[in-house]
Chain A
Amino acid sequence: MDYAIQQGLNALAFGSEYALIALGLALVYSIMNLMNFAHGEIIACAGYSMYLAILIGIGSPWLVAPIAIAAGALVAVLFERIAFRPVRHAPTTTGLLTALGVSIVVQNLLTLLISPRPRAVPVFSELSRTIFIGPYAISLLQLLELAVVALAIGGLVLFLKHSTLGLAIRAATREFSTVRLMGIRANRVIATAFALSGLLAGIAAIFIIARRGSIDPTFGFQPVIKAFIACVIGGFGSLGGAVLGGMLLGFLDVAIIVLLPQEYGGLRDAIAYSIIAGLLVWRPEGLLTRRIELGDKEI
């Protein structure tokens, strides 16, 4: 029982991290049709902001965490302003290649300016404690991660449902030029979507750092690949789908680790991706999305 609860919590924690990053990808994709492969570098920059904060003597986690979140949002907005805005009206592949380019440039900058080797960011070591709730030993970090992700998603939902800009973002997912006909500035809608995705990336960076304790230039790559898969499972561009896909992927990851005999450990990813491939054969458009009109491409 204890073991099951521990693994369940593990799955939830992994899943919520994937969900957080996937949400950021989906937010940007849903209004710009941009697959932002540079999202990992937003996470990395947020991570390095914590490293730099510690370097200049800011040691309190209560200060470092907000710095990371702010840095995530700032970097995301900067990427949009510098790299994505000039190619906004170009074909989608241009945006995709731009994102890859940004990703490579930023990774190299981090390597050149800081170090190719991992740097320790020990600020959240306090969180790696085990607490006891009744008879159960539970990781404080995971509990915190769940709570924060739930809060972040709740906050995002409130924003999208009740603020004018949030409504505009939802409307822009399908009717961008009509949103402009309401007098709402396209640049503001897009910048806000990027800022929100950066904010979520910043939160994700905090928890990845807390778990790993160090950072390197390819820090954001792996999580974004996972989040990308989460988006595909949930249905690209669907925000609910991103969360659902992330959670499913978290559970899948943990279930495979738990159920797979030790000697087959190397097959972990192969099995996970086979299951996902099977899922996509069954529902090519993902779980939570409306069916795409293919017109005469439909068979």
Chain B
Amino acid sequence: MLSVNRLSVHYGPIRALDAASIRIGRGEFVALLGPNGAGKTSLISGIAGLVRAQGRVLFEDREIGALPTEDRVRRGLTMTPEGRHVFANLTVAENLRLGAAIRRDREGVAQDIEKYLGLFPILRERNHQLAGTLSGGEQQMLAIARSMMSRPRLLMLDEPSLGLAPRIVAQMFDYISLLKEAGVTLLVVEQNVMQALKHADRAYVISSGIIRHEGKAEELRSDRRLIDMYLGN
């Protein structure tokens, strides 16, 4: 579904991502793991078109590397940025509506809003509250629901567990797994290695801007050497 070929990202003289290549099959849940500053966010921002990147990005067999972010989203590839970035000065309902901005099927949109308010009941309670007043976990739920409103076929999540209480983290991964069951292909950046490997099918390990390893999640989980080397603990 997604094939990234030798993607590089530079910030001035600093090379944040060095010729990274990854592939994701339809319906897969792939984790992208690595220490701080490894280039994880650069990779998915490059795929989403939020930063300038060299290399090829094929999505559903079409080259999208030259398209602006908006057009990539319109083709079914989206990203939930780190730190959630909900529209703090808009209500929960308005956030969800903007998530569906590219859709013209009013009924479908209304159904989807119902669906995600059902999945995240706390959002229904807070429907008319400003998103900036939600707690971190609630904002993360809103950010994910908002991304889902555009009906993406590939969703990239950047650190969905960042800054959340441990109990909420486990819950968040349960929600993410539900999305996979609903047929969404997932690429999830995580520092919470064990949680990510528990739910993902496959994982890439990245450090210093280079993809170091790729493999099945369960195999990686038992590979102490690799985990010690790149992923700490």
Q: Given A174-B89, A178-B85, is A167 in contact with B97 using a C-beta cutoff of 8 Å?
A: yes
Q: Tell which of A13-21, A126-134, A183-191 binds the partner.
A: A183-191
By a CB distance below 8 angstroms, the chain B residues around A174 are 87-89
A12 CB, min distance to chain B CBs, angstroms: 29
- A164 with B98: CB separation less than 8 A: yes
- A180 with B88: CB separation less than 8 A: no
By a CB distance below 8 angstroms, the chain B residues around A115 are none
- B94 with A186: CB separation less than 8 A: no
B50: interface (CB < 8 Å): yes
Closest-by-CB residue of A relative to B69 is: A180
A193: interface (CB < 8 Å): no
Our pick among A164, A170, A175, A186 for the contact of B101 (Cβ within 8 Å) is A164
By a CB distance below 8 angstroms, the chain B residues around A185 are 68, 70
Q: Given A167-B94, A167-B97, A168-B98, is A181 in contact with B78 using a C-beta cutoff of 8 Å?
A: yes
Whole-angstrom CA separation of A183 from B90 in the bound complex: 18
B102: interface (CB < 8 Å): yes
Q: Given A173-B89, A174-B88, is A182 in contact with B94 using a C-beta cutoff of 8 Å?
A: no
How many contacting A-B pairs (Cβ < 8 A)? 68
Whole-angstrom CA separation of A290 from B94 in the bound complex: 21
Whole-angstrom CA separation of A177 from B41 in the bound complex: 14
- A183 with B89: CB separation less than 8 A: no
- A181 with B79: CB separation less than 8 A: yes
By a CB distance below 8 angstroms, the chain B residues around A179 are 87, 98
A138: interface (CB < 8 Å): no
A238 CB, min distance to chain B CBs, angstroms: 11
- B101 with A181: CB separation less than 8 A: no
- B73 with A180: CB separation less than 8 A: yes
Interface contacts beyond A167-B98, A183-B70: sample of 5 additional A-B pairs, CB < 8 Å, sorted by A:
A175-B85, A175-B87, A181-B147, A182-B102, A184-B70
Seen from chain A, the residues whose Cβ lies within 8 Å of a Cβ on chain B are: 164, 167-168, 170-171, 173-175, 177-186
The 10 A-B pairs with the shortest beta carbon distances in the complex, nearest first, are: A183-B73, A183-B102, A171-B87, A178-B85, A180-B69, A185-B70, A183-B74, A184-B101, A182-B101, A164-B101
